[in-house]
Structure 1
Amino acid sequence: MGIYDYVVKDKQGEDVSLSRYKGKVLLIVNTATGCGFTPQYNGLQTLYEKYKEQGLEVLDFPCNQFANQAPGSDAQISDFCSLRYHITFDQFSKICVNGEKEDPLYTYLKSQKGGVMGKNIKWNFTKFLVNKEGHIVARYGSAKAPEDMESEIVRLLEE
Structure 2
Amino acid sequence: MTPRIQALNEKKLLGLHLTMSLADNKTRELWKAFMPRISEIANRLTTDLISMQVYKPTHFADFDPTNEFEKWATVEVASFDDVPAGMETFTLPGGLYAVFDYRGSSNDPRIFQYIFGTWLPNSEYVLDKRPHFELLGNKYKNNDPNSEEEIWIPIRQK
User: Which structure has greater strand proportion?
Assistant: 2
TM-score (norm: length of structure 1): 0.29
TM-score (norm: length of structure 2): 0.29
User: Which structure has greater helix proportion?
Assistant: 1
